[in-house]
Amino acid sequence: MTANDSETVRGDCSFCGETVTGRHAIIHYETAGGDTGLWAECPHCGEIVDPTDAQ
């Protein structure tokens, strides 16, 4: 699996704890410092989260 694979686990929802995978990604971004991240919709509660914050 690659980092962009739809089944790659990206982290957990900070609201309900559900696992968020690449298929739930809405926005991929890169910071000025070169770090990458994403915002995703939780498949369980529907909140928009940064799943990497929980890791």
d(CA 3, CA 8): 6
Residue 18 located in a structural domain:
yes
**Terminal C-alpha separation, the chain:** 19
Domain count, the chain: 1
Residue 1 located in a structural domain:
no
Residue 1 confidence (pLDDT) above 80: no
Listed in sequence order, the residues at least 6 apart from 47 whose beta carbon sits closer than 8 Å to its beta carbon are: 13, 14, 15, 16, 41
Residue 24 located in a structural domain:
yes
Residue 2 confidence (pLDDT) above 70: no
- If you search the block for the tokens 């926005």, which residue do you land on? 27
Residue 2 located in a structural domain:
no
Higher pLDDT pick, 49 / 36: 49
Residue 32 located in a structural domain:
yes
Band of pLDDT at residue 54, cut at 50, 70 and 90: low
| Range(s) of the domain holding residue 32 | 9-54
d(CA 29, CA 9): 17
